[in-house]
Amino acid sequence: MIVVTTETISNKKITETLGLVRGNTIRARHVGRDILAGLRTLVGGEIHEYAKLLAESREQAIDRMVEQARELGADAVVSVRFTTSVIIGGAAEMLAFGTAVKLQDAE
């Protein structure tokens, strides 16, 4: 499955638009990670515990979006975007969305 943030794919022609696909996950912070992150804020620098949490959330959201695209028979998802929102204190949603399409080689 090709997944891109662009509206087009080099050397491919979009033959059919299948519609919006999306995948999301909601993750809560972990007390142990919060303690380490709190200590890191004292000395500065990247908070690796939260960076890892966000990376895992993005991957899971993409996987769910791609699965939805496969169910529609898509070859690719174009115009992929991400958004996050706080659900409750300590928990946030990661949403990936795009347009599922059918492709053929460009002539």
Q: What are phi and psi of 27, to 5 degrees?
A: -120, 145
- Answer whether residue 49 shows pLDDT above 70: yes
Q: Report all structural domains of the chain as residue ranges with CATH numbers, in order of start.
A: 2-105 (3.30.110.70)
Alpha helices in the chain (DSSP H): 31-43, 48-71
Q: What is the pTM of this model?
A: 0.83
Q: What is the DSSP letter of 81?
A: E
Going by pLDDT thresholds of 50, 70 and 90, the confidence category of residue 43 is low
- Over its C-alpha atoms, the chain yields an Rg (Å, rounded) of 18
- Confidence bin at 31 (pLDDT 50/70/90): low
